[in-house]
A = this chain, B = another copy of it.
Amino acid sequence: MAEQPYTPKEAMIYSQRIAQLSKALWKSVEKDWQQWIKPFGLNINEHHILWIACHLEGATISEVAKFGVMHVSTAFNFSKKLEERGYLSFSKREDDKRSTYVEVTPEGEALLLQINEHYYDSRHTFLEGSLPLKKLYGRFPEFIELMAVIRNIYGEDFMEIFEKGFKNMEGMFEETDGKLTPKRPPATEDGETEEVL
């Protein structure tokens, strides 16, 4: 123990501080997330699964479980429910017959876009609580230390998917008069617009 770069007491207090802090953080985030997606009849895990399947452009159930931080059985059960409602489709791939892939259907994509369009219909306490920092520093905080620890816990591929998803989201929306609208490609000759995402 003596050779470790910290004392057990210091480390325990640090660790318990973070545990209580992250409980407070999550309880606030969870409540807001639930309120936001409630009108669309989804729970947090279902919404998270749709998000992952969308940004991974198809994912195995174990990828969904990993990136969504849920049990494989939870990922499977909620994916099945999303399939029943027409938001996800299950398939096997030619090059990987053993794994089941889930993909977002056009209805699922439309739902995700619609949910984001309604982001500001409900309160987002963490966002509100971040505004004084945004005002002070001119940008939203990046929580780089926290990101570094999460990276150490969940690994590089977890972070890549995470960043990829949010990069995709950048391209999915535009702002018109301060309102969020999904980006629509220009209408084609027959007057129809193509699927985005």
Quick check: which of A22-30, A87-95, A101-109 contacts chain B, the rest being far away? Answer: A22-30
Determine whether A178 belongs to the interface, using a CB cutoff of 8 Å to chain B: yes
The answer to whether the Cβ of A184 comes within 8 Å of any Cβ in the partner chain is: no
Q: How many residues of A contact B (CB 8 A)?
A: 76
Q: Is A12 a contact partner of B180 (Cβ separation < 8 A)? A: yes
Given A9-B175, A9-B180: A166 in contact with B16 (beta carbons within 8 A): yes
Cβ of A135 to closest chain B Cβ, rounded Å: 6
The one of B6, B32, B140 in contact with A134, judged by C-beta atoms closer than 8 angstroms, is: B6
Give the oligomeric copy count. 2
CA distance A14 to B133 in the complex (A): 13
Residues of B within 8 A of A132 (CB): 148, 152
A15 within 8 A of B: yes
A30 and B24 alpha carbons, distance in the complex (Å): 12
The answer for the CA separation of A96 and B23 in the assembled complex, in Å, is 30
What are 15 A-B pairs at a CB distance below 8 A? A1-B178, A6-B134, A8-B119, A11-B127, A12-B173, A14-B140, A16-B166, A18-B127, A21-B150, A22-B29, A25-B146, A126-B153, A129-B152, A141-B145, A143-B143
Chain A interface residues toward B at CB < 8 A: 1-2, 4-30, 32-33, 44, 48, 69-70, 116, 119-120, 124-135, 140-143, 145-154, 158, 162, 166, 169-170, 173-175, 177-180
